[in-house]
């Protein structure tokens, strides 16, 4: 049974989608055993409490620098024997200390088709640029900003009347489907690497299919 920790700073809708997928059997042999937030009022912590999942609060102001923050966070993850770290709206760039400890075992989801529009304003930047298609990306976390190996992507056409709010809502619906799928692939050991490219092994043929 794989042990998953979810790190979230806000509402936690992707956390809820992951928990629902586990309950439905769409992700098997895994469970969320820890939810961590850097925001005391994050609703993700309320969701965790409702599901009976242990919670932890890591406020940046309680640590002198990013590395000491990450070392304390890493110690908690290791003490809880976490296999996979899932970032779900966690608004902190993690240091190399964390990245190296969970290399190819830490995922993030981003509301654009990376490498286009990284950073916190992915939806707004896509609208401002005038692209006709955007979407979301699940990727492994590396030392950069939304720059790790891509696992899965899904595209979404931008409507003429889309606002940041309406587009964000529609992208969230994609995320809630795509993130559990990526987690399930990892749990089942279906993701393979060639350089920075990710592939999925096909059960029928044993041949890899490139994901991103």
- pLDDT tens for 91-126 read 888 999 999 999 999 999 999 999 999 999 999 999
Answer whether 0.85 is exceeded by the pTM: yes
Is beta strand 133-140 parallel, antiparallel or unpaired with respect to 106-110? Answer: antiparallel
125: tokens are 């930047």
Q: Which residue has the tokens 């042990």?
A: 3
Instruction: Report all structural domains of the chain as residue ranges with CATH numbers, in order of start.
Output: 1-102 (3.40.50.170), 109-212 (3.40.50.170)
Residue 190 per-residue DSSP state: -
Q: How many alpha carbons lie under 13 Å from residue 55 in its C-beta half-sphere?
A: 21
Element (H, E) at 195: none
Residues catalogued as catalytic: 110
pLDDT in tens, 132-167: 999 999 999 999 999 999 999 999 999 999 999 999
Residue 205 pLDDT > 50, yes or no?
no
Q: Where are the alpha helices (DSSP H) in the chain?
A: 13-23, 43-50, 66-79, 96-101, 122-129, 164-187
In angstroms, the Cα distances linking 85 to 69, 110, 203 are 16, 15, 25
Residue 146 CA to residue 139 CA, distance in Å, equals: 8
């Amino acid at each position: 049974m794989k042990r998953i920790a979810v790190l979230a700073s806000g509402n936690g809708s992707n956390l809820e989608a992951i928990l629902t997928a586990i309950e439905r059997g769409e992700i098997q042999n895994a469970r969320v055993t820890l939810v961590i937030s850097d925001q005391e009022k994050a609703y993700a912590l309320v969701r965790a409490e409702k599901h009976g999942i242990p919670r932890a609060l890591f406020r940046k102001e309680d640590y002198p620098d990013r590395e000491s923050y990450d070392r304390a966070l890493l110690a908690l993850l290791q003490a809880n024997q976490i296999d996979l770290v899932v970032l779900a709206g966690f608004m902190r760039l993690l240091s190399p200390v964390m990245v190296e400890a969970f290399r190819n075992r830490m995922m993030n989801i981003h509301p654009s088709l990376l490498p286009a529009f990284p950073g916190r304003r992915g939806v707004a930047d896509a609208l401002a640029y005038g692209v006709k298609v955007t979407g979301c990306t699940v990727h492994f976390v590396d030392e950069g900003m939304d720059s790790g190996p891509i696992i899965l992507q899904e595209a979404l056409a931008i409507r003429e009347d889309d606002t940041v709010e309406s587009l964000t809502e529609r992208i969230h619906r994609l995320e809630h489907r795509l993130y559990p799928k990526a987690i399930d692939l990892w749990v089942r050991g279906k993701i393979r690497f060639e350089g920075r490219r990710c592939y999925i092994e096909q059960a029928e043929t044993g041949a890899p299919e490139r994901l991103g």
